[in-house]
Amino acid sequence: MILFGAGGHCKVIIDLLTLNGQKIDKILDDDPLVSEIYNIPVFKNDRKIPLEDTIISIGDNKSRKKISELYGLNYISAYHQTASISNFAKIDSGTVVMPNSSIGAGAIIGKHCIINTNAVVEHDCIISDFVHISPKACLAGQVKVGEGTHLGIGANVIQQVNIGKWCVIGAGAVVLNDLPDYSVAVGNPAKIIKINDDN
């Protein structure tokens, strides 16, 4: 097992995998100041990565996408023991599901997503690749979230809302209406404060 990235998100994934009884062989990161995390050695990425089970342990959505496109690795998903995941949900490769989160029946979660601590993804939601749903964020049924979007801590989205790709939803925001691609939305009710045009 290899983890790609040695930041804070890596520590959380190490904890998750250790609880599951999985052994982590090494961590790859280009930061010369980090040599180990929790007694696991950190190696500089030499671009010749062996084909082992790998998780991209980086919280930034754009970075996860870039790495996944650069390397054709054997990406796996990981779920915390306390997560509640419906037998009728589908979760793609590279996604991590953190403690006490809940994924409902019929939900579809894309590749390399982060479903963070105490987050709720209700029935029939569709979450695209590289999405990060922060701690205590809650999506009601049939919500759609586009690629690379980040829902901030404690954000709430009512049922059947469509959120575009590469949006940023502020902490505690309450999303009542559809949001177009690249929106930055904050508040209760959530209002668009800008459209990011650098994506």
Active-site annotation, residues: 123
Burial (0-12, 13-18, 19+ Cβ within 10 Å), 2: buried
- Tell me the backbone φ, ψ of residue 66, rounded to 5 degrees: -60, -45
Cα–Cα distance list, 199 to 112, 113, 189 (Å): 18, 18, 25
Cα–Cα distance list, 77 to 3, 74, 142, 183 (Å): 12, 10, 23, 28
Q: Three-state DSSP class for 11?
A: helix
Sequence-distant (≥ 6) Cβ neighbours of residue 89 within 8 angstroms: 103, 104, 105, 106, 107, 108, 109
- Alpha-carbon distance of 117 to 122, in angstroms, equals 15
132 among annotated binding-site residues: yes
Sequence-distant (≥ 6) Cβ neighbours of residue 151 within 8 angstroms: 131, 132, 133, 134, 137, 139, 145, 157, 163, 169
37 among annotated binding-site residues: no
153 among annotated binding-site residues: yes
Tokens 């915390």 found at: 80
Binding site for substrate, by residue number, is 59
Binding site, by residue number, is 59, 132, 153
Binding site for acetyl-CoA, by residue number, is 132, 153
